[in-house]
Amino acid sequence: MPPAGDNRDGYWENLQFVRLNERLLASGGGTWFAPPPAIRPTPAITADAAAVVAQFAGREPWGWKDPRNAVTLPFWKSLLPSLKVVVCLRHPAEAAASLAASALVPRGWRFYWPVTRHDSPIVLPHGARRSLGRVWGAARATASGSRRRALIEEVGLQVWRLYNTTLLAETSPATRLVTHYDAVLARPRAELERILAFTGIDAPAAVVDEAIHAVSPDLRHQRARASLDPELARLYAALSREAGCAP
């Protein structure tokens, strides 16, 4: 995935996996910001995914990055039973603010309509499920930049909740490692060595040094620390403890 205006260093996501994950979400009638109630892989998607995975045979250990994996993980586990998961944790409010400031969220109807569909797991407290209410809400979010940002942050918190709840349900402490965004910035070498040990990657010292050099606190644009509802706060605290960080 190439760089963008809000991410000059690039996203480091393999587009083959991104496109497969998008197809998996679409097969259930959802998107990454409004995941479907269930993933329904077609035979064609399964065959294409198996072909992509086969490209890496004999090159273990290997892996890929894509936040969509959080909700498509059951499918990938069916292809890769020994899969390990690195969970990249960030404060929910900060993650939501970063999402609102990015260019990743579609504008207008393409965003509002999926998150307010009747079977969406994203539930807006003030959102109407009836068509007239949805039309009015979409129009307001399209016309007002501040309302659009507030809506994205609201949805972002729920996406954070859904993604991380699914990750916890689909993994065990033995098959996952939680690494905190703050820890990567504060002590990159120690955190990278922790990740390498978990994934079984024996990286040369020069490669480790190069990776550490890429860490730039100046690229941290969001420092939101808004109060969280009790359920979200408990989930964030539990994941932070697992990452070895104070919430």
Q: Which residues does the chain have with pLDDT short of 70?
A: 5-7, 125-134, 136-138, 140-144, 218-222, 224-225
Which of 111, 104, 192, 118 has its CA nearest to residue 147? 111
| 1 found inside a domain | no
Q: What is the pLDDT of residues 30-84, one digit of tens each?
A: 999 999 988 999 999 999 999 999 999 999 899 999 999 999 999 999 999 999 9
The Cα 171–Cα 135 span in angstroms is 39
The CATH number of residue 207's host domain is 3.40.50
Contact assessment for residue 212 and residue 189, using Cβ atoms and an 8 Å cutoff: yes
Q: Give how many domains the chain has, as a whole number.
A: 1
| 116 found inside a domain | yes
Domain hosting 181: range is: 15-243
Can you give the pLDDT at residue 11? 74
Q: Which residues pair with 4 in a beta bridge?
A: 7
| 112 found inside a domain | yes
Contact assessment for residue 75 and residue 49, using Cβ atoms and an 8 Å cutoff: yes
| 9 found inside a domain | no
DSSP helix/strand/coil, 4: strand
| 5 found inside a domain | no
| 7 found inside a domain | no
Q: Compute the CA torsion angle 47, 48, 54, 55 (nearest 10 deg).
A: 160
The DSSP call for residue 34 is S
| 175 found inside a domain | yes
The DSSP call for residue 7 is B
| 74 found inside a domain | yes
